[in-house]
Amino acid sequence: MILGYLLLALALVATVGANVLFTLSRRPGRATLLKAAKGAVVTAAAGVVGASAYLAYLIATHQFQVAYVAEYSSLRSNKWYLFAAFWGGQEGSLLLWAFWNALLGVVLAYRSGEQRTSRVWPIYGIAQVFLLGLLLLKCPFYVPADKAVPADGRGLNPLLENMWMVIHPPVLFLGFSSLLAPFAWAVYGLAHRDWDGWARSAFSWSLFSFATLGLGLALGGYWAYETLGWGGFWAWDPVENSSLVPWMFITALLHGIAVQNKNGGYRVTNFVMGVLPFATMFYGTFLTRTGVLADFSVHSFSSLGKDGFIFLLTGVLLSLLVPLGLLVWRFKQIPKPPAYERVWTREFGYFLASALLGLIGLITAVGMSAPLFTKLWIEKGAAPEPTFYNQATYPLAILLTVGMAVTPFLAWKASDVDSVRRRLLLPYCVAILLTIVMAGAAMYLGLRKPWQLLLFATSIFAVLANAVLILPRLKHRSSRRTLGGFVAHVGAGLTLAGVACMVAFQQSERQVMLVRDRPLDLMGYRLTYLGQTSHPFDRDNNALRIRVEKNGRVWEARPRFYVAPWAGKDTEFGNPPAVLPSLYSVQRPADIQKLLPWNNPFPWGDLYIAASTGPQTAWTGEDGQPKHSNSGFFLKPQEPRQFGDYTFMLLSLDLDEKAKEAIQKGSPAAMNALPTVTFKAQVGVDWRGEKQEIVTAEFVLDQRAGGKFSNPVKIPGPDSRETLLVLLPPTDEELNSSKAFEALPFQTMNAEDPTEHVYIEISTKPLIGLVWAGPILYTLGGLVAYRRRAYEMGILGTKESPLPDNGDDAAEPEAAAGAAAKSAAKPSA
Amino acid sequence: MKPAAWVGIVIILGALAFSSKAFVTNLTPYLTFEKARQAPRSSTVQVMGALDKKSIRQQMGTLAFEIVSKEGDRMPVSFKQQKPANFEQAIEVTAIGRFDGATFRADRLLVKCPSKYQGTETKEYGASQKA
């Protein structure tokens, strides 16, 4: 709507204004303009925040005349899912991105130091102008002209109506947005020949990006594990990869900067690593939002259109080529002091970390671009299997964990090597011994494949080596500030150790058929399918009841299964898994004991059960062959049909008058021109000769919302369970045939049937807790390190602190805390 | 050059060589039916064709159907997982897996369906090797 456009236009104009004012203020005697420029930055932020609030308001008040609101929200959504509708689509998530950019832009304008703000902000501003331009082009406030206002919106994809979709995108986009500041600082450093100053400023920003983007990735993995039911948390999908790649590069950057802040080393590498996170994030956006990967990804992308394609492609090329061109141009001018004197120093360890992280980022980026460049020799292009990423990154991950275990014990500068060696020898031996014990235990328990055992051992080594360095630092407040890097490394090590364990020890069975009330022994469990809690159309409540027995103890797993007609789109099958133990089962404090390992069917982690299909019954088809369906059958008018305990007869089919006309004209497809058509089938139902009733099952073709809905009707049956009859919508093809209504497809739900069965997928997830605990720790570690560096740079402080030439570490007395403690804040993994 | 630089170069070259090899072995090219029949059993390939709706058979957890190439070549496909939603409406099906001598055993299906509002929509079904 017009207010939204106006607010975004205001933001665009104010951002351009801020750029002009900042640039002008650099002239001598024009410093007063700086204040006006900062005012323009705040105005721009107010515009974007206002536009966001306005979109939230439009969604909350169901203003379906706005195309975006009608597309991604509906009256039935509860208030939390309405929140998720904000970023449920392309335009809204672009606005979320601009929202964080605008807020972080204010921080950058006020906390970058007087002279430098006017030079760095315009670079940041150009990217924001670009984004706001794209947003005006693909605007969430767009109101289609001459189109009837729909009575209800289509709503979010049912699979996205989930608590984690409320939390995950804002965190992820905060991470994305925070990549822009390090980029702006790197370009500033190149443009204004500030070879080292930019890196000091970008340090805290990159730590912030590391923490938020890393947390966003982990939340996305947890969402997949909890709701998608395919049993994993990471699939190397283009959407996941396009977040992982910038995260690897930003982590490489912060290791490089840590060295540069000490001795000015790695200047050129850091410029490259400063540019890549934002540029690759932009590239990932281009890949996943313009539909170029449409044939290769699970996520169904709606294209931004040709304008958006050109816009984004231009952006990607500019963000990559301009800074790198600048780097080539400046290359000879950049002084390149040696970064390290000896190999066994931190300076070299950090270099290896940067190189390994950069390589993982590069390999992933190449893999996700494969569908594009393989077109050179394969006609349609090809994507690598997920196994490519596993194989290619495995050895790098092992080297990385070894580096995480070794580097924190090394000294900065070659001259300190001996004293550090004496002091840290004992804790290091402890860590090595513990690692050997744990790897031995893992081997005893069955971890025998050499690569898996190696990754497990090196990851545990990284955890223990960093943990022994954390303990002595907990005593003093000042040394606690330096814990960030160690905590982050413990987190990264735990995550990788968890992945190694899960891959090695996981047991799983797919397509397990469970016949109702008939126990099946599998993987040491006795499993019995007991029926459904409701019926599949009950999207919020329906679950399969599966009894799990082991050693005389009994649990009930309730994997969910629902069929969600999604207006205007395909029907979605949802199968969120049952995860035992479940955090959600803890309602009262006393329930905490449910989480204890010995109270669970699988003491080492999670037992994961997902429905592969909904309840089915076996029945004999008209050709005499056994068929398999979701209790589906056809009814012809006035012909009785036996189905299980039921006899059905189609008595009449009732249609709207206009629809009847269309059919009489001989073209059922003409009904598609009508706004809505309701089909009502009167069916006589007889259950075991005991109960009879005439019911009306119906379905609706809603042309405005574009949907086909069935409204199930209750039919007589046993008192113990509610049985429903569903008139299934015909396919488009059936509608177009002249025989459209000779036989109508029906389905029963919950009908008593001894052949009722489900297919499930069951797996154990050993030590999965490590995979979730790891990200919490690396995020915390990243934030601790961020807090320290941000205070140093005055980003969090109230006054702008002067910029020491060599960071704070050099100012610390050498002897006070020891060589290792003084440089403790090794950023992160 | 310093020994440390050599270490870096060795690691980088090793990683690049290793990952190039992994890339080549894990690339799943789109093949014609003829080439897919001749491809070694160990390699995963993709075939794509129009769905012959009359050929759809579902029995005890296996979905069997045939796809037809533009040239009219037919390929029977079996998929041992849940039948994708609205499978009957699919116009085009991409199967990822391998030919076992009689049928193409699909690990995953990419199903392209007509979608009223967005042209076509492609969805993936079936689990691949995921962590």
Taking the C-alpha atoms of residue A489 and residue A484, their distance in angstroms, rounded to an integer, is: 9
Q: pLDDT (tens digit, 9 = 90+) per residue, B84-118?
A: 766 777 788 888 888 888 889 988 888 876 543 33
Q: Where are the domains of chain B?
A: 1-28, 31-125
The alpha carbon of A357 is separated from its chain's Cα centroid by a whole number of angstroms, namely 20
Residue A708 and residue A638 in one domain: yes
Provide CB contacts within 8 A for A667, sequence distance 6+. none
Q: Do A295 and B122 touch (CB under 8 A)?
A: yes
Taking the C-alpha atoms of residue A494 and residue A431, their distance in angstroms, rounded to an integer, is: 15
CB neighbours (10 Å) of residue A590?
8
Q: Do A379 and B30 touch (CB under 8 A)?
A: yes
Q: What is the mean pLDDT of each run of 10 residues along chain A (829 residues)?
A: 93 96 90 91 97 95 91 80 86 94 95 87 96 92 83 78 86 96 96 93 95 96 86 86 96 95 91 96 88 60 71 91 95 87 84 93 93 79 84 92 89 73 79 88 81 89 90 82 92 94 86 87 93 79 92 92 67 81 79 82 90 70 49 79 84 76 64 72 89 86 60 80 76 62 76 77 91 95 92 67 37 34 34
Please tell me the distance in Å from B37's CA to the nearest CA on chain A: 18
Domain for residue A687, yes or no? yes
Q: Which residues from B are below 8 Å from A568, CB to CB?
A: 116-117
**Three-class DSSP category at B79:** strand
Q: Which residues from A are below 8 Å from B87, CB to CB?
A: none
**Three-class DSSP category at A764:** strand
Question: Tokens 């990423």 sit at which residue?
Answer: A389
Taking the C-alpha atoms of residue A695 and residue B47, their distance in angstroms, rounded to an integer, is: 46
A524 close to A550: Cβ distance less than 8 angstroms: yes
Domain for residue A345, yes or no? no
Residue B60: closest C-alpha in chain A: A628
Residues 40..79 of B with a Cβ closer than 8 Å to A: which?
Answer: 44, 46, 48, 53, 58-61
Q: Do A388 and B61 touch (CB under 8 A)?
A: no
Domain for residue A92, yes or no? yes
Q: Do A569 and B115 touch (CB under 8 A)?
A: yes
Q: Do A380 and B89 touch (CB under 8 A)?
A: no
Q: pLDDT (tens digit, 9 = 90+) per residue, A647-666?
A: 899 888 877 776 777 666 65
* The CATH number, out of the four listed (3.40.50.300, 2.40.50.140, 3.65.10.10, 3.30.310.10), of the domain defined by the range B31-125: 2.40.50.140
Q: Which of A233, A293, A376, A388 to mutate to test the interface with B (most CBs of B within 10 A)?
A: A388
Q: Which residues from B are below 8 Å from A629, CB to CB?
A: 58
Residue A544 and residue A600 in one domain: yes
Residue B84: closest C-alpha in chain A: A573
Residue A313 and residue A218 in one domain: yes
Taking the C-alpha atoms of residue A512 and residue A523, their distance in angstroms, rounded to an integer, is: 11
Residue A531 and residue A410 in one domain: no
The pTM (predicted TM-score) of the whole model is: 0.84
DSSP A729-761: PPPHHHHHSTTTTTSEEEEEES---TT-EEEEE
State the complex-level ipTM: 0.74
C-alpha to C-alpha distances, A647 to A492, A644, A751, A756, nearest whole angstrom? 61, 8, 12, 18
Domain for residue A218, yes or no? yes
Residue A784 and residue A742 in one domain: no
Taking the C-alpha atoms of residue A745 and residue A730, their distance in angstroms, rounded to an integer, is: 8
Residue A255 and residue A276 in one domain: yes
Q: According to the model, what pLDDT value does residue A554 have?
A: 92
- A40-A274-A291-B82 Cα dihedral, nearest 10 degrees: -120
Q: According to the model, what pLDDT value does residue A829 have?
A: 30
Q: Do A367 and B23 touch (CB under 8 A)?
A: yes
Half-sphere exposure of A423 (CA within 13 A, CB side): 17
Out of A234, A511, A571, name the one closest to residue B130 (CB). Answer: A234
Please tell me the distance in Å from B70's CA to the nearest CA on chain A: 15
Q: Do B26 and A503 touch (CB under 8 A)?
A: no
Out of A300, A388, A503, name the one closest to residue B131 (CB). Answer: A503
Q: According to the model, what pLDDT value does residue B102 have?
A: 84
Residue A187 and residue A334 in one domain: yes
Q: According to the model, what pLDDT value does residue A613 have?
A: 75
Q: According to the model, what pLDDT value does residue A479 have?
A: 81
Q: According to the model, what pLDDT value does residue B116 have?
A: 36
Q: Do A499 and B131 touch (CB under 8 A)?
A: yes
Domain for residue A758, yes or no? no
Residue A461 and residue A605 in one domain: no
* B88 vs A: CB within 8 A: yes
Residue A565 and residue A651 in one domain: no
CB neighbours (10 Å) of residue A300?
18
Sign of CA pseudo-dihedral A181, A185, A187, A191: positive
Q: Can you give the CATH number for the domain in which A77 is found?
A: 1.20.120
Taking the C-alpha atoms of residue A682 and residue A149, their distance in angstroms, rounded to an integer, is: 33
Instruction: Name which of A796, A645, A637 is nearest A715 in CA terms.
Output: A645
Q: Which two tokens stand for residue A562?
A: 């629902």
Instruction: Name which of A67, A76, A57 is nearest A158 in CA terms.
Output: A76
Residue A585 and residue A633 in one domain: no
Asked whether the predicted pLDDT for residue B36 surpasses 60, the reply is: yes
Domain for residue A373, yes or no? no
Give the domain extent around A595. Answer: 517-615
Please tell me the distance in Å from B81's CA to the nearest CA on chain A: 7
| Boundary (domain end) residue, out of A340, A368, A395 | A340
Q: Which of B12, B82, B88, B112 to mutate to test the interface with A (most CBs of A within 10 A)?
A: B82
Q: Which residues from A are below 8 Å from B11, CB to CB?
A: 352, 355-356, 399
| Boundary (domain end) residue, out of A310, A340, A370 | A340
Domain for residue A29, yes or no? yes
Instruction: Name which of A582, A511, A544 is nearest A765 in CA terms.
Output: A582
Sign of CA pseudo-dihedral A60, A65, A67, A71: positive
Question: Tokens 């900062």 sit at which residue?
Answer: A38
DSSP A69-80: HHHH--TTS-HH
* B6 vs A: CB within 8 A: no
Please tell me the distance in Å from A639's CA to the nearest CA on chain B: 25
A431 close to A405: Cβ distance less than 8 angstroms: yes
Residue A21 and residue A76 in one domain: yes
Angle of helix A180-191 relative to helix A163-178, nearest 10 degrees, comes to 10
Q: Do A391 and B7 touch (CB under 8 A)?
A: no
Taking the C-alpha atoms of residue A535 and residue A560, their distance in angstroms, rounded to an integer, is: 11
Q: Backbone phi, then psi, for A442, in 5-degree steps?
A: -65, -40
Q: Which two tokens stand for residue B75?
A: 């390929």
Q: Do A732 and B89 touch (CB under 8 A)?
A: yes
A367 close to A282: Cβ distance less than 8 angstroms: no
Q: pLDDT (tens digit, 9 = 90+) per residue, A35-54?
A: 999 999 999 999 999 999 99
Q: Do B28 and A387 touch (CB under 8 A)?
A: no
**Three-class DSSP category at A529:** strand
Asked whether the predicted pLDDT for residue B120 surpasses 50, the reply is: no
Instruction: Count contacts between A and B (CB, < 8 Å).
Output: 155
| Boundary (domain end) residue, out of A725, A753, A781 | A753
DSSP A793: T
Residue A480 and residue A534 in one domain: no
> What is the overall mean pLDDT for chain B?
77
A698 close to A652: Cβ distance less than 8 angstroms: no
Count of domains forming chain A: 5
Please tell me the distance in Å from B32's CA to the nearest CA on chain A: 11
Domain for residue A797, yes or no? yes
Q: Which residues from A are below 8 Å from B44, CB to CB?
A: 385
* B80 vs A: CB within 8 A: yes
Q: Do B128 and A385 touch (CB under 8 A)?
A: yes
* B113 vs A: CB within 8 A: yes
Q: Do B30 and A381 touch (CB under 8 A)?
A: yes
